[in-house]
Amino acid sequence: MTKPRALIVDDEQDILDLLRITLSRMGLDCLAATDLGGARRLLSTQSFRLCLTDMRLPDGDGIDLVREIASHYPQVPVAMITAHGSMETAVAAMKAGAFDFVAKPLDLQVLRRLVTAALRLGPPAAGDAETGPAAGNLPPLLGDSPAMVELRRLIAKLARNQAPVYVSGESGTGKELAARLIHLQGPRATAPFVPVNCGAIPPDLVESELFGHKKGSFTGAISDNPGLFQAADGGTLFLDEVAELPLPAQVKLLRVLQEKKARPVGSQREVPVDVRLISATHRDLAAEVAGGRFRQDLFYRINVIELRLPPLRERTGDIPLLTAHFLDRIARQNGLIPPRLAASALAALIHYPFPGNVRELENVLERALALAEGETLEAADLYLPALPTATAAAPGLTGPGAPPAGGMSEDATAAALAESISEIQRQVILRTLEETRWNRTAAAKQLGMSLRSLRYRLSKLGIE
């Protein structure tokens, strides 16, 4: 079997030697270039499993090489060697498409971890599911709106990267679900995903919870605690409600991200950390920075890539699909037959602004199913709070047929579900068209779909 090959680019011979020795001990062949031109020539004639490039090269900037590799050789993970403490370059490199960075002077332990991570990013092994090894255990991020389609595409792309991701969005929009999908679709899937609610840790314990502590380092530290960063080693740490981190912990977090090493409270030694960071908050983090409650430099560092989850009211076109999915799931879990949904109920759902977003929709349906008496869920069964933007529900239209009582095969259930989804979609589209006086552009906008996909749906549903 041929050895995996690495491209190393640096104009300092000492560094090239150090890289070559370290990487060949890890079973890699190295080809070296001392400038951009040399690197380009090698890239055009050889195939590589990894590239490490310095930042300043005699004939240009390493970032340009990162950009070229990201666009012409996207299967080659590229990492940047940055000057000590230069956060700007590290962030710029990752924005340009680098999967990670390593600071000078090179720490061999950090370098080895980076190389291991790069090799895991390599060409997917035959038989790997497209969505990654374990993604099947999670509920999918549903939605046909352009925003959700784009979001799923971004998640798949981000999964192959190590850069910190900041997930923003209102409460209940699916931030944690998105973070888990990034983890599960990437090379860290078999290592832990550790979610931490920063707001739930008492402020004076945040440091020791995150970075660990030595026994006896403070009252109550009765034994060594490795900390959550160590617990997530090799995997992903999800810092939820990151805006709640006290300022001293923010300083330490920044350092850890920069150095890739952490010093447990009360310990003399730093331990390497190999963790991908995903953070989230329902707050407006930029406003927290402006208000002096969140450090600008940390914001800049954790926000290398932002993933924004749109509120449900900006994609009401997804409500029918989500509703059908949740009704089906909740009914199955309770051994019930999914109920019909009256048109009035669907209209009420579509017009309700959902301040609690998808989670609230889920809760509303759960409650409705528990309390409803008949076979059809009517608007009144939803017990929606007063609706500021509600319009009167149109009478007359009744929901799709419920499956017949008694057992149904999986296929029959799926077919019934598909049919009820398209019936629901039909009703939603018709109603929206009526509301917009058949202005298709306005209707498409209100439904959160493109004009093209609205036209497609119309013809598929046989609506003139």
Q: Which residues bind ligand ATP (CB under 6 A)?
A: 139, 141-143, 169, 171-177, 282, 358-359, 362
The CA distance from 38 to 60, in Å, is 12
Helix (H) / strand (E) containing 306: strand 305-308
CB of 425 to Mg ion, least distance (A): 29
Give the relative orientation of helices 62-72 and 87-96 as an angle to the nearest 10 degrees.
20
The CA distance from 42 to 35, in Å, is 11
Give the nearer residue to ligand ATP in terms of CB position, either 199 or 216.
Answer: 199
CB of 245 to ligand ATP, least distance (A): 16
CB of 140 to ligand ATP, least distance (A): 6
The CA distance from 77 to 437, in Å, is 52
CB 318 within 8 A of CB 147: no
CB of 445 to Mg ion, least distance (A): 29
Handedness of CA 378, 388, 178, 419 (dihedral sign): positive
Of residues 30, 32, 44, 86, the one with CA closest to residue 63: 86
Give the nearer residue to ligand ATP in terms of CB position, either 142 or 205.
Answer: 142
Give the nearer residue to ligand ATP in terms of CB position, either 55 or 361.
Answer: 361
CB of 238 to Mg ion, least distance (A): 9
Full DSSP string of 110-139: HHHHHHHHHHHTSSPPTT--TT-TTGGGS-
CB of 240 to Mg ion, least distance (A): 5
For residue 463, give both structure tokens: 């609506």
For residue 179, give both structure tokens: 């973070």
Phi, psi of 341 (to 5 degrees): -120, 115
CB of 152 to ligand ATP, least distance (A): 9
Interaction partner, residue 169 (ligand ATP, Mg ion, none; CB < 5-8 Å by kind): ligand ATP
Give the nearer residue to ligand ATP in terms of CB position, either 173 or 208.
Answer: 173
- Please tell me whether residue 176 binds Mg ion under the rule CB under 5 A: yes
Residue 307 bridge partners (DSSP)? 167
Interaction partner, residue 77 (ligand ATP, Mg ion, none; CB < 5-8 Å by kind): none
Peptide bond just before 264 cis, omega within 30 deg: no
The CA distance from 12 to 15, in Å, is 6
Interaction partner, residue 54 (ligand ATP, Mg ion, none; CB < 5-8 Å by kind): none
CA angle 119, 121, 122 (to 5 degrees): 65
Q: How many CB atoms lie within 10 A of CB 278?
A: 28
Side-chain-facing half-sphere of 457: CA atoms under 13 Å? 24
Give the nearer residue to Mg ion in terms of CB position, either 115 or 178.
Answer: 178
Q: Which stretch binds Mg ion (CB under 5 A): 88-96, 142-150, 176-184, 193-201?
A: 176-184
Interaction partner, residue 136 (ligand ATP, Mg ion, none; CB < 5-8 Å by kind): none
Q: Which stretch binds Mg ion (CB under 5 A): 117-125, 172-180, 291-299, 454-462?
A: 172-180
Of residues 153, 174, 181, 175, the one with CA closest to residue 325: 174
Task: Tell me the pairing of strands 236-240 and 261-262.
Answer: unpaired
CB of 178 to ligand ATP, least distance (A): 7
Q: Which stretch binds Mg ion (CB under 5 A): 12-20, 71-79, 170-178, 415-423?
A: 170-178
CB of 444 to Mg ion, least distance (A): 31
- Please tell me whether residue 259 binds Mg ion under the rule CB under 5 A: no
For residue 224, give both structure tokens: 């060594």
Give the nearer residue to ligand ATP in terms of CB position, either 169 or 187.
Answer: 169
CB of 180 to ligand ATP, least distance (A): 8
For residue 338, give both structure tokens: 């999914």
Give the nearer residue to ligand ATP in terms of CB position, either 157 or 215.
Answer: 157
CB of 176 to Mg ion, least distance (A): 4
For residue 451, give both structure tokens: 């004009």
* Residue 386 DSSP label: -
| Separation in Å, CA 47 to CA 5, 43, 234, 308 | 7, 7, 27, 35
Give the nearer residue to ligand ATP in terms of CB position, either 324 or 393.
Answer: 324
- Please tell me whether residue 356 binds Mg ion under the rule CB under 5 A: no
Interaction partner, residue 171 (ligand ATP, Mg ion, none; CB < 5-8 Å by kind): ligand ATP
Q: Which stretch binds Mg ion (CB under 5 A): 87-95, 168-176, 352-360, 411-419?
A: 168-176
Interaction partner, residue 417 (Mg ion, ligand ATP, none; CB < 5-8 Å by kind): none
Give the nearer residue to ligand ATP in terms of CB position, either 167 or 273.
Answer: 167
Interaction partner, residue 143 (ligand ATP, Mg ion, none; CB < 5-8 Å by kind): ligand ATP
For residue 136, give both structure tokens: 């099947």
Residues in contact with Mg ion by CB under 5 A are: 176
